[in-house]
Structure 1
């Protein structure tokens, strides 16, 4: 069995990636707060299974992962792909006006959840199954943006974390591979949240509104195709590599 674990499959890139992997015969397990009826009805070689989970709840996330792996028959799994896709952009606000609750939720979903998933499966499966882990990053990890202190910080931290895991796996001479994938700007619900921000919260809001008007937001299906091709190209997939949609799809 080819297994794929994806966070944030209720919509957007997570949903699009799940469908493509199902087409390739993967058993896809989606971790998200809301179930996806389209994925449940989707006819493909593979299948979809939903696990209801709020990734901002750390204890529940840990318990859910333990329960999930305790019920797996490892002998039936030939490969496993993990895609840490779920992310929040809120709070979009200048520092000093952010609520503790929103910051805590943001860090848990964007940073701690991918760390928990990566740590858990490397620990449980060890050398028995070769893992391919893709952490979804952003250009915001490499530049400071007014109003995006939380988003930029968590993405930057995720990049460094992924790099460190890759170094460790290389030193340990394991076959596990962890990569970063930057999808850039997509036509998703997150973009709607960004465009709804006030200029006092986010100085670049007008630029993002213009991207929508000019139809310059990428379709998630196109981005998902690139991500899946990268993961499927076993001979070219490099541990610790940063992959960007810009290298595969021109403007």
Structure 2
């Protein structure tokens, strides 16, 4: 049986991905704090709480989840959970916020991929990992030193893991969703300009209708997963599939 785990699947892009996977009759486990209210009651939707900032807790959950599956043939692991905080210049960041961001955006996805590869070998199922990345990984942005660098590190990890797997092992790819109308965008727009210099640009994206809906961005990813022959290690970008909003 084909199943999926989506971290951070309760809202935004994660919720959209969950919905599109369920539309394909795939059983989805949403690993998030609150769960997806719109999906509760659907036979293909399952919500589990796991503290993604605690490696020991979250890895224990992943191992237990896999061990409990009786008929798993393929697992889509969509690593979507993350944070844009701290949006602040170097010298003014809260050290605990730095630690949380590095754990959520980089350490946890790497550790989960590492364990998932091992479990897939042990239990004999096909594994496809998607690491959700960002255009912020491509260039420096004032106020995003942690967010951009963690996403850049995750991109390189994805490429390296794919290189090690080659064409004969598990599949791991990156997906860049570009700018969307989500809670994260609300956080960005409410930041002080002294902490994030591009605040007016992001406010203009909203005012000018340049933010894509999470549903269409999530739909692109699921179509790629279901209908294309995946290239191991590739960075898939939503802009290659949808008209530009710029």
TM bracket, shorter-chain basis:
over 0.9
Match of 1:63 in 2: 60
For structure 1, list consecutive stretches of 5 or more residues without a partner in the other structure: none
**Does 2:105 match 1:103?**
no
Structure 1 residue 125, shift from structure 2 partner: 1.5
- Asked if 1:246 corresponds to 2:239, the answer is yes
Return 5+ residue gaps in structure 2 as ranges.
none
Q: 1:221 aligns to what SS in structure 2?
A: helix
1:176 positional shift: 1.4
| Cα separation, 2, equivalents of 1:81 and 1:24 | 13
Q: Render the CA deviation track for 1:26-46: whole Å, top value 9, x for unaligned.
A: 11011111122111134xxx6
2:77–2:130 contact (8 Å) kept in structure 1: yes
What residue in structure 2 maps to residue 117 of structure 1?
112
What's 2:148 paired with? Answer: 152
Q: How many residues align?
A: 243
Do the aligned partners of 1:27 and 1:47 also contact (CA within 8 Å) in 2?
yes
Match of 2:127 in 1: 131
Task: Within 5 Å, give how 1:180-199 maps onto structure 2.
Answer: 180-199=174-193
Of residues 91, 94, 97 in structure 1, which corresponds to 2:89?
Answer: 94
Aligned counterparts of 1:35 and 1:227: Cα–Cα separation in 2? 21
CA distance in 1, matches of 2:72, 2:170: 15
Q: CA deviation at 1:69?
A: 2.0
